Amino acid sequence: MSAGLGGSSSKYAEVIDGGHTLPAIDVSGIDPAMLRQRVDYRTREPAGTVVVDTAARHLYLVEGDGKAMRYGIGVGKAGLAFAGSATIKRKAEWPHWSPTENMMNREPARYRHLASGMAGGIENPLGPRAMYLYQGDRDTMFRIHGTTEPETIGTAVSSGCIRLMNQDVVDLYNRVKIGSRVVVIQGGRAAES
């Protein structure tokens, strides 16, 4: 474990997972509000629902009885982020990743050479886990996933997806089920008390 990890060091320690090593995250430079923690949270959503508050840069996993597990997130740049509700219809460990056609068109030098995709691994932009959001049987192309850039948590950085620190996305992945409802709120409506 690295020095300078602060009080949340055990949550963000190095983890061996599926033959890959997730490095420890030095959280000393990350806003403490972005670190995983159980919070008081008032909502009408039932336990097991994932609520994403894009303005606050938080994802809440509703636990019921006025509590939720809160995670800091990085979200899509203005105009790229998903809003509304969806269902987690697929979950993947160390997922394969391919840039979307829109990403390749927007930034060809950065993404076009990856058109055939990238195998799961520590350099993969999706990180160690991905949860795929669907509306009915239609893949929204939005994901909840990890990141190779933990310092971006709390900012608008991705191509629309919802990213968490790798240790946090593993924790969330282990808590949610296929079929879980995801509600993405644009503009903020914090119910935290």
pLDDT at site 17 = 93
Residue linked to tokens 């929204």: 140
Task: Out of 20, 96, 113, 145, pick the active-site residue.
Answer: 145
The two structure tokens encoding residue 40:
């008081």
pLDDT at site 78 = 56
Q: 83 Cβ partners below 8 Å, 6+ apart?
A: 54, 184, 185, 186
Residues listed for the chain = 193
pLDDT at site 98 = 85
CB 142 within 8 A of CB 89: no
Cα 167 from Cα 23, distance rounded (Å) = 9
DSSP annotation of 31: -
pLDDT surpassing 70 at residue 91: yes
Cα 15 from Cα 193, distance rounded (Å) = 32
93, 117, 176 from 96: Cα distances, Å: 9, 7, 20
pLDDT surpassing 50 at residue 34: yes
Is 145 among the residues known to form the active site? yes
Q: Model-level pTM greater than 0.75?
A: yes
Residue linked to tokens 């669907």: 134
Mean pLDDT of 34-54: 96
pLDDT digits (tens, 9 = 90+) for 131-149: 999 999 999 888 999 998 8
pLDDT at site 4 = 36
Predicted confidence band of residue 5 (pLDDT cuts 50, 70, 90): very low
pLDDT surpassing 70 at residue 191: no
pLDDT at site 175 = 97
Task: Out of 20, 58, 96, 161, pick the active-site residue.
Answer: 161
* Strands 162-163 and 138-145, sheet pairing: parallel
